[in-house]
Chain A
Amino acid sequence: MNLSTKFAIAATALTAFIVGGVTLIAVQREQRMIAQEIERKGTVLADTLAMSSVSALMSYDYATLKRFLEAAKKDPGITYAMVLDSTGLIKMHTDLKEIGRYVSDDISARALDTDEVLVQRLPEGSGGMLYDVAAPMVAAGRRVGVLRLGLSTRGMQTALQRSRNQIALIGLAALVLGIGGAVTMARRISRPLRELVVGAKAVARGDLTWRARVRARDEVGEVASAFGFMAENLQNHIDEKVRADRLVTLGTLAAGIAHEVRNPLEAIKGAAQVIEKSGIDPTVQKFTRIIKDEVTELDGFLEGFLRFARPAPLALESLDVGELAGETLVLLEPLCSDHEITLMRDLADPLPTVTADPHQLKQVLMNLCLNAIQAMPGGGTLTVASRPAVQDGRNGVELQVRDTGTGMTESIRREVFEPFFTTKAGGSGLGLAVSRSIVERHGGRISMTTKEGQGTAMTVWLPATDIGTEVASFSEEVS
């Protein structure tokens, strides 16, 4: 039996119990009240009528006595009214067939014998009750007769039955609504749980891309959200682990290459220098220079590869990112000019101080700027901006490099930080990978927004070493 069925059954049983209990209590209470009301009414009416009728009985004014009883009988709850003399002779009765008859039953005997108002209960057909109320008629201290009223609950029984039916109807409606509500509630609770089960199974299969679609703002929603967050974190950790493993592999590979390739390259380079110095003909010298240049370039590639795989230790110092950016941009001005690119500076001052390796940070900024320049072959605007920024509650500095170039497609964007990924002929594909590695080793983050045909913005965030000034964000500036 699943959870929703159990919940629905439990809620239905509870509703039925409550509705049944309330109905029972209401009916019993009403019955009790009716009985009390009948007794009270009968006592007052019989006593009053007895006192009023004594004179008519004593003076044989039976016409008046008859009218008194007929008036009382107009009350729908009164089934009969009668006056007996002290011998038990019915002197007057609302059913005139009864007059002149002697009564001898136990009820009548007790009624004739009472000195005060006497209420006697008799079961009546159809579950009703008849209340025989007897009030002595006294003249000059002597009991001269008794007035009796019969009050039936039958009329009230009908009202009571109607009331019971109404209560039952309300109870039934409450039960139906309760069951409906319980089933709906059970489904609402179990649906996200079923989704969570599906998600858990997906994660167990290794599909960490599953995310909860539960929108409930309750505990179940929190569980689903936490579950999705857990899957996402797990995916991130796995990605990080894969990348770390890849870097370790690359480091090992780099060491092998350094050992196996750089030494022969040094030998080739030395041999080329010897040949160059031997004074042979110019054609040979030309080719030896080519050999030397290519060896040098190959060495440079290996150097960069080694730096990525086995990055140099950070030489940290406190520095002003704005100032560092200014120094770097001076070097880029001629290149921008050559490519008809307008270089814009938007550097906030002051900025929170960061603790960083200035050389490696310059390398990052240079990489980003060169990529931007290359993305604007027909010219454009290169903007470099810096501002204080808070990420995850931490103060820091944002450094943004924005171009108005070609932008990137979605597929390129997804892989642009991967090592050896390049869209440029002759590119190493290590520039952004190295940049990200440097930024992350500084405890920062690098992110990108791009739109095809409109440009790209690369944003580097670095944590501050002291409390910064005003905080802002560059996010969404390129869209």
Chain B
Amino acid sequence: MQGREFGRECLHKKTRENRNGVSHLIRFGRNWSKIKRKDLTLILLLLIPGVPIPGCNAAPSSTALPAIRFSYPAVEDPTVTLGKYQPILDAMAAAVGRPVSIVLRNTYGEIVQDLGRGDADVGILNSFSYVDIVSRAKLSPLVRRVQAGRDTYQSYLIVRENAGIKRYQDLRGKVIVFPDSRSTTGYLMPRLMLRRHHMEMSRDFARVLLVGSHESTALAVANGTAHAGAVASYIYERLDPAVQAKLDILDLSEPIPFGPVVARAALGNRLLERIRLFFVDLNRSPQGVSLLRDAGLSGFTVATDKDYVSIRELVRRLREAGP
């Protein structure tokens, strides 16, 4: 097994004990920031505390059943996130009736690999990663998150205030910064937006920087490292007002659906449906609403492959246009 399964060959770190008295061991990934923070939140919400780890803290009714292997990206402070989302994951374990083992990953690419090789049963992907692998693996999209009442987000093309950049053409010869070349809103969408204005990254900029995360992207523009950059809309909204004050939004993309929670079809339709129902029903009970509110979410909605047709078309067009 190539993946570093939780509690085995990964770099271990003792965090905290859950309510059953079992310690969770979390591995830190160095490139965690390549994955969208909100996706990480969702993943942790689904997977971390209270989730039965094989041989450890399975619920009484599910100890004899095989664990669902959940692949998710490591985040910056797992201890905080674990404590915050453990109640949701306890509820999920109880609802699904199966223990869950956790596989921490650094990037969406690694999660894609896990799912493709059958080393993980469920995973969290961003939109680009989903459309990139769906043709090669038998995966079923289950749900996607709803945040602030919306199940889509946008890409913001930001520039430094007072940099004299009022239109696309002003970007020529400048330094531009992006989080990750696999980021939907942080790379693919802005690349398309630039193309619409006849601009190419490889040709029209003095330098193109990849800085690892959306937050670093915004800070790099704010502190003068770069003149412009692209970030996800929900990341921009979360920025410190002092940083926001140093930024102007040059343009924004059309809405993009949030990345899905996907599962291997091999789990069986019955189990897939139970997982889907758990998330979809979360906002239909006071307890579920409370758990979602703590995680900063409105709820989950059913995800279908059709939701990502536009993204797939976007990727196709970009590939046709070349690197």
Q: Give Cα A96 to B220, complex, Å.
A: 12
A90 on the B face (CB < 8 A): yes
Q: Give Cα A99 to B244, complex, Å.
A: 12
Residue on B nearest A90 in the bound complex, by CB: B223
Q: Are A60 and B216 in contact (CB under 8 A)?
A: yes
Q: Give Cα A64 to B243, complex, Å.
A: 15
Q: Are B224 and A89 in contact (CB under 8 A)?
A: yes
Q: Are A62 and B216 in contact (CB under 8 A)?
A: yes
Pick from B76, B211, B246: contact of A100, CB under 8 Å: B246
Pick from B177, B211, B219: contact of A92, CB under 8 Å: B219
A66 on the B face (CB < 8 A): yes
Q: Are A60 and B220 in contact (CB under 8 A)?
A: yes
Q: Give Cα A96 to B216, complex, Å.
A: 13
Q: Give Cα A62 to B225, complex, Å.
A: 10
A96-B240, A96-B242 as given contacts; A63 in contact with B219, CB under 8 Å: yes
Q: Are B242 and A62 in contact (CB under 8 A)?
A: no
B41 on the A face (CB < 8 A): no
A97 on the B face (CB < 8 A): yes
Most chain B beta-carbon contacts within 10 A, residue among A66, A67, A90, A95: A66
A61-B33, A63-B33, A67-B76 as given contacts; A99 in contact with B212, CB under 8 Å: no
Residue on B nearest A93 in the bound complex, by CB: B223
A154 on the B face (CB < 8 A): no
Q: Are A99 and B211 in contact (CB under 8 A)?
A: no
CB distance from B48 to the nearest CB of A (A): 20
Q: Are A60 and B224 in contact (CB under 8 A)?
A: no
Q: Are B222 and A100 in contact (CB under 8 A)?
A: yes
B213 on the A face (CB < 8 A): yes
Q: Are A59 and B225 in contact (CB under 8 A)?
A: no
Residue on B nearest A85 in the bound complex, by CB: B225
A67-B76, A97-B242, A99-B246 as given contacts; A89 in contact with B223, CB under 8 Å: yes
A99-B246, A100-B160 as given contacts; A60 in contact with B177, CB under 8 Å: yes
Q: Give Cα A100 to B219, complex, Å.
A: 9
Across-interface contacts of A89 in B (CB, < 8 A)? 223-224
Q: What 0/1 pattern do residues 47 to 64 of A give for CB contact below 8 A with B?
A: 000000000000111111
Across-interface contacts of B223 in A (CB, < 8 A)? 62, 89-92, 99-100
- In B270-317, which residues have CB < 8 Å from any A CB? none
Chain B: how many interface residues by the 8 Å CB criterion?
21
Across-interface contacts of A90 in B (CB, < 8 A)? 223
Pick from A59, A95, A99: contact of B219, CB under 8 Å: A99
Across-interface contacts of A92 in B (CB, < 8 A)? 219, 223
Most chain B beta-carbon contacts within 10 A, residue among A59, A66, A99: A99
Q: Are B211 and A61 in contact (CB under 8 A)?
A: yes
Q: Are A63 and B213 in contact (CB under 8 A)?
A: yes
Residue on A nearest B33 in the bound complex, by CB: A63
Q: Are A63 and B215 in contact (CB under 8 A)?
A: yes
B91 on the A face (CB < 8 A): no
Across-interface contacts of A64 in B (CB, < 8 A)? 33, 216
Q: Give Cα A96 to B215, complex, Å.
A: 13
Query: How many A-B Cβ pairs are below 8 Å?
Result: 58
Across-interface contacts of B243 in A (CB, < 8 A)? 96, 99
Across-interface contacts of A63 in B (CB, < 8 A)? 33, 76, 212-213, 215-216, 219
Q: Give Cα A66 to B213, complex, Å.
A: 13
Most chain A beta-carbon contacts within 10 A, residue among B220, B223, B245, B246: B223
Pick from A61, A99, A100: contact of B216, CB under 8 Å: A61
Q: Are B212 and A61 in contact (CB under 8 A)?
A: yes
B10 on the A face (CB < 8 A): no
Across-interface contacts of A67 in B (CB, < 8 A)? 76
Q: What 0/1 pattern do residues 97 to 119 of A give for CB contact below 8 A with B?
A: 10110000000000000000000
Across-interface contacts of B199 in A (CB, < 8 A)? none
B209 on the A face (CB < 8 A): yes
Q: Are A60 and B225 in contact (CB under 8 A)?
A: yes
Q: Give Cα A67 to B215, complex, Å.
A: 11
Q: Are A99 and B209 in contact (CB under 8 A)?
A: no
Q: Are B220 and A62 in contact (CB under 8 A)?
A: yes
Q: Give Cα A64 to B246, complex, Å.
A: 19
- In B216-274, which residues have CB < 8 Å from any A CB? 216, 219-220, 222-225, 240, 242-243, 245-246
Most chain A beta-carbon contacts within 10 A, residue among B76, B219, B220: B219
Residue on B nearest A92 in the bound complex, by CB: B223
Q: Give Cα A97 to B212, complex, Å.
A: 23
CB distance from B40 to the nearest CB of A (A): 13
Across-interface contacts of A95 in B (CB, < 8 A)? 242
Q: Give Cα A142 to B98, complex, Å.
A: 55
CB distance from A461 to the nearest CB of B (A): 98
Residue on B nearest A67 in the bound complex, by CB: B76
Q: Are B212 and A66 in contact (CB under 8 A)?
A: no
Pick from A66, A97, A100: contact of B224, CB under 8 Å: A100
Q: Are A66 and B219 in contact (CB under 8 A)?
A: yes
Q: What 0/1 pattern do residues 3 to 33 of B give for CB contact below 8 A with A?
A: 0000000000000000000000000000001
Q: Give Cα A48 to B225, complex, Å.
A: 24
CB distance from A203 to the nearest CB of B (A): 92
Pick from A61, A91, A100: contact of B213, CB under 8 Å: A61
Residue on A nearest B246 in the bound complex, by CB: A100
Q: Are B246 and A59 in contact (CB under 8 A)?
A: no
Residue on A nearest B239 in the bound complex, by CB: A96
CB distance from B247 to the nearest CB of A (A): 10
- In A455-479, which residues have CB < 8 Å from any B CB? none
Across-interface contacts of B33 in A (CB, < 8 A)? 61, 63-64
CB distance from B170 to the nearest CB of A (A): 18
Across-interface contacts of B220 in A (CB, < 8 A)? 60, 62
Q: Give Cα A92 to B243, complex, Å.
A: 11
Residue on B nearest A56 in the bound complex, by CB: B216
Q: Are B212 and A60 in contact (CB under 8 A)?
A: yes
Across-interface contacts of A60 in B (CB, < 8 A)? 177, 209, 211-212, 216, 220, 225
Residue on A nearest B177 in the bound complex, by CB: A60
Pick from B212, B215, B224: contact of A59, CB under 8 Å: B212
Across-interface contacts of B222 in A (CB, < 8 A)? 96, 99-100
Q: Give Cα A60 to B177, complex, Å.
A: 10
* 19 examples of A-B residue contacts, CB within 8 angstroms: A60-B211, A61-B211, A61-B213, A62-B223, A63-B212, A63-B215, A63-B216, A63-B219, A64-B33, A66-B219, A89-B223, A96-B240, A96-B242, A96-B243, A97-B242, A99-B219, A99-B222, A100-B222, A100-B246
Chain B residues with a Cβ under 8 A of chain A:
33, 76, 160, 177, 209, 211-213, 215-216, 219-220, 222-225, 240, 242-243, 245-246
